Amino acid sequence: MSADATGMLEQRLEAAGFGLVAGADEVGRGALAGPLVAAAVILPAGVRIEGVRDSKLCTPRARTELAERIRAEALAVSIVRVSPGRIDRRGLQRCNLEALRRALAGLDKTPDYALLDCFRLRRLPYPSLGVKKADVVSCSVAAASIVAKVYRDAAMRRYHRRFPGYGFRTNVGYGTRQHWAALNRLGPCEIHRRSFYGVTGFHREVVREPPEARNCWGPEDVEARGSDERRGPREV
């Protein structure tokens, strides 16, 4: 069984005098359909929630239960979603960075320090650090990953009711074999990322799964929609 996030980074920062440490992470970056979702979480100093780890390593039921506990115990939670259309028009990378930035800015409390999984954000009003596999050594980043994943999965289940032919309830927008077959059969729907290679770019009679590295991004700029999970979604 996979181990919980160690919280090592928070422990070191708290020992150095940083009282409010925020973790931020995103989900849905590689999906063919649906929004990109970023979340930021500030946990109370010293609080470690059992079971918090990389969201991909949790069962759906465990993620849902953990997201409820995180929201109950966190000092602040913020969620931002970026629509597929904006990703197509503005570019995935800038959308990703701006979503993380907006998630941190949307917190009810201003953090003393921010931790992110891999990505580095410049010109924040407080110090920050991007760490590879941060959800292994940071409880707050792992918590943000779980909150974002639960939020996005719920959105994709709702989209499944509107667009039942693509299997969004189970593939949550990612490029499974069944999803590619549905794209070949039906073509893209309203929430597909049309700038991604293969979504509209291969012959309908050929079903194949193109390499992720060949995704095509648009111009790099961003505008995102945001929400604080405890207040509910709001337009930004």
**E strand intervals along 73-189:** 76-82, 113-117, 128-131
Number of domains in the chain: 2
Query: Which CATH number belongs to the domain containing residue 49 in this structure?
Result: 3.30.420.10
Mean pLDDT per 10-residue run, the chain (236 residues)?
82 95 97 98 90 84 94 97 97 97 98 95 95 93 96 98 97 97 95 95 46 31 34 38
Query: What gap in Å lies between CA 51 and CA 196, rounded to an integer?
Result: 34
Residues 146 and 195 in one domain: no
Global pTM value:
0.83
Residues 18 and 66 in one domain: yes
- Asked whether residue 227 is assigned to any structural domain, the reply reads no
Residues 70 and 30 in one domain: yes
Residues 125 and 182 in one domain: no
pLDDT reported for residue 230: 40
Residues 151 and 169 in one domain: no
CB-CB contact of 82 with 221 (8 Å): no
pLDDT reported for residue 163: 98
Residues 140 and 67 in one domain: yes
Residues 140 and 169 in one domain: no
Query: What gap in Å lies between CA 144 and CA 206, rounded to an integer?
Result: 38
Residues 142 and 189 in one domain: no
- Asked whether residue 203 is assigned to any structural domain, the reply reads yes
What's the half-sphere exposure (Cβ side, CA atoms, 13 Å) at 124? 26
- To the nearest 10°, the Cα dihedral for 51, 57, 60, 62? -10
Total number of residues shown for the chain: 236
Query: What gap in Å lies between CA 43 and CA 38, rounded to an integer?
Result: 17
Residues 183 and 104 in one domain: no
pLDDT reported for residue 4: 86
Residues 202 and 111 in one domain: no
pLDDT reported for residue 53: 85
Query: What gap in Å lies between CA 229 and CA 11, rounded to an integer?
Result: 26
pLDDT reported for residue 205: 43
27, with CB counted inside 10 A (0-12, 13-18, 19+), is: buried
- Asked whether residue 235 is assigned to any structural domain, the reply reads no
Residues 77 and 173 in one domain: no
Which residue range(s) make up the domain with 168?
A: 163-214
Residues 186 and 147 in one domain: no
